[in-house]
Structure 1
Amino acid sequence: ISVKSFQCHQCHEILPIGKARSHVGKHILKRMRGVVEALSGDQIETPDPCGFCGRSGLPECSRLYLTAGANPQPKSDCQHFYKFMYQRALISTDNTPSTNVPILCSIIGCTHRQGKFVTAIWKYNAKQHLEDKHPGYLTDGLAASNAAPIPIEMLHAMEITDDEERRMGIPTQYRPAKPVLPPIQAKAVLPRSRKRPHTATEVGPERPNRRVRLS
């Protein structure tokens, strides 16, 4: 196998490395939705299948990170890791239908910083992550009397749309109902203080002393 090629551990198909994440994502999502596949290789196991190779339980695959900042980049110790355009991968298309990318868990205290990297989880594993690591939160993010809602930004990060599921070959009857997500509140931007322009003080002729000197 060429270094630019990838052989799927689940179905043994050989494809370009740049298509591996989306291809493996199909196997993972079908396993999540209960769609049975006749695979010639390894079955997708839970929890936490790797988004690059589909395998679970490997220490190197569990080391998943994002760089901090406005333009995050993924990093993994999986032997099949490759760099990809993160922002483009957030949008499902006919050519690259899967949006299974590393995301951050928004629950306070869950992520850890290691240098310029922050620990991350795979998007398709987020629901299982919440159930296993944060059982006090509802996995649909809706408030209840005895459970806390998931932060809105995480709900949006882990959303899988019907269009994506259709492109991934998930039959309609296997797709869960999709709640309408509340909008993400824009962060308030404080206006810059307007300073009055500094002008030089004009110095005029000295005024005469009008005080009367008493004799």
Structure 2
Amino acid sequence: MINKDFESKSFNRLERVRGYTKVNKRIDMRAGRITDQNSFLVGNLFVTILCMARILSIAILRSTGLFLNDVSRASINITTMKASPTTAKISGQLLTVVPTRPSTNPQVPTSFLWDGGYVKTQSPIPGTSGSTEHVIIVNVPGFLMEPINPEPTFIRLGHDVNSDHFLEINGGQTTWQVPHDALVAACELLWAKALEAKLPLKSIACVNPSDANSFPYQLSDGTSAVISVKASNLLAASEGKRITICPLCEAKVPNMRSHIGQHILCALSNTPENVSLKEPVGSVLPCGFCGRSGLPECSITIKVPANGPPVWETKCIYQHTFKYGFAETGSKNKPCRNVPLKCALCHPTLPPEPGKSTCRTPVVSVDAVWRYNMVDHILNGHEEYSVPGHRVSGVALLAVVWENIRLTDLEQTAARIQKEHWQVGQEGDKENVPSSGSRTRKRPGLESAASLPSKRPHTSVQPLQFARTLIA
């Protein structure tokens, strides 16, 4: 278990050789007993978070060095090690682990067993085209680690693992295991500590394993076992990459705006989702790119020029470019029309001055409202107006405002909203979708000549010429 009943190893041999030091390395001999219950020793196991190809994941390591104020130590007090800020650092070798197979009994959790191996990487040999493979060793700050006390287990007694995966263990009989849910909890805890310490993303150690299947750790079905979606998305955004993992359901999607729009419509209509949401949709004016509420970086502005499409701006890390005209219209393949809009009630168009046909107004950026948030915006910000299906009393909405909040049949069908819960229309409102019989039927190419209108010969008509007699 993470941080529960942690016990230090009994390193009697270390006590006998604690004065040993490498050349040009300083070691502090004033440390207390290295078998102290509150001390972390060289050789103990710990977990931390590492990056690999814009993915942040939990990692299990065996400590190989402890440093406090750049002085090598045989042990460090755990409280001192984990304090923030701290000058404590720890180095360790990255271990490989094997997941147990899923059990039919939901009470039996998935665990990860050490297979006796280490994650390795390739290093080029200077002056040659060759490379050599060595164990990955990383250095992490003390506050970004959690000691673990894994549970010993017998490999031969486990029916949920393949004993052939543990050939590197001496004797091949015993190893240790860590529960999957404990690693998930540790990953969330360490990422929260990194945010609290305002640790730059580039300060988190990055690894490049030779075998991509060895790290990040994987479940038996090949999917990533323990990753931080929020941190991974931040890593992608910091490198200018488009984020493709939904922050709400953690699905990989090609169009975040359209995908999040489906989540928002389901939440607004109380329609059950087909997938389990890791995080609910924001309850107050959710962002159209990430579905969250109240984040300063998700505020959005819009500038509407006289000619050309509107220009929007936001600092949401999930933002991506899209063609405004196509997104505002929607289509059968992409029915979501959730785009930022300029509220015509907050920023009405002024009438022209006397004697002029138009009124030229300066083009400036104003606060935008996402289309799917427009109803709530009017209900709370413009109480003098009525809203069909929400507020009966009040002034009827202008046609341009109603068009901004109207949902199409395609949008509501794509979101699986029951028809009895569809948006209530305004009087005189018509769906702006052509019916199946409204198109002009094309004439078949092999239609008989008799059915075609006959061509009339063109008669060339010349103007009459009149001879005139000039009378002198």
TM-score, length-scaled by structure 2: 0.35
Contact 2:300–2:312, Cα closer than 8 Å, also in 1: no
Taking the aligned partners of 1:182 and 1:34, their CA distance within structure 2 comes to: 24
Contact 1:140–1:150, Cα closer than 8 Å, also in 2: no
Task: Give the share of equivalent positions with the same residue, in percent.
Answer: 28
1:79 maps to which residue?
317
Taking the aligned partners of 1:126 and 1:82, their CA distance within structure 2 comes to: 21
Tell me if 1:174 matches 2:438. no
Q: Output aligned runs, 1:43-192, within 5 Å.
A: 43-70=280-307, 71-108=309-346, 116-140=364-388, 147-181=394-428
| Larger-Rg structure | 2
Quick one: which of 21, 25, 42 aligns to 2:257?
Answer: 21
The answer to which structure, 1 or 2, has the higher relative contact order (CA under 8 A, 6+ apart) is 1
TM-aligned CA distance change 1:135 to 1:172, over 3 Å:
same
CA deviations over 1:26-54 (Å, ceiling 9, x no partner): 00000001112253311012210000110
2:271 maps to which residue?
35
Aligned residues: 179
The CA RMSD over aligned residues, in Å, is 2.9
Structure 2: which 5+ runs fail to align? 1-53, 55-235, 350-360, 431-472
1:15 aligned counterpart, secondary structure: coil
Structure 1: which 5+ runs fail to align? 184-215
Contact 1:74–1:86, Cα closer than 8 Å, also in 2: no
Taking the aligned partners of 1:35 and 1:153, their CA distance within structure 2 comes to: 28
Structure 1 segments, 4+ long, off by >4 Å, are 108-111, 180-183
Taking the aligned partners of 1:100 and 1:120, their CA distance within structure 2 comes to: 12
Taking the aligned partners of 1:149 and 1:90, their CA distance within structure 2 comes to: 23
CA deviations over 1:60-111 (Å, ceiling 9, x no partner): 1123323433321222221222221101001222321200001111114589
TM-aligned CA distance change 1:82 to 1:67, over 3 Å:
farther
CA deviations over 1:155-214 (Å, ceiling 9, x no partner): 11221012221123223233233234469xxxxxxxxxxxxxxxxxxxxxxxxxxxxxxx
Bigger drift between 165-174 and 88-97 goes to 165-174
Bigger drift between 58-67 and 155-164 goes to 58-67
TM-aligned CA distance change 1:109 to 1:93, over 3 Å:
closer
Taking the aligned partners of 1:157 and 1:171, their CA distance within structure 2 comes to: 22
Amino acid at match of 1:150: L
Taking the aligned partners of 1:58 and 1:99, their CA distance within structure 2 comes to: 22
1:81 aligned counterpart, secondary structure: coil
Amino acid at match of 1:33: S
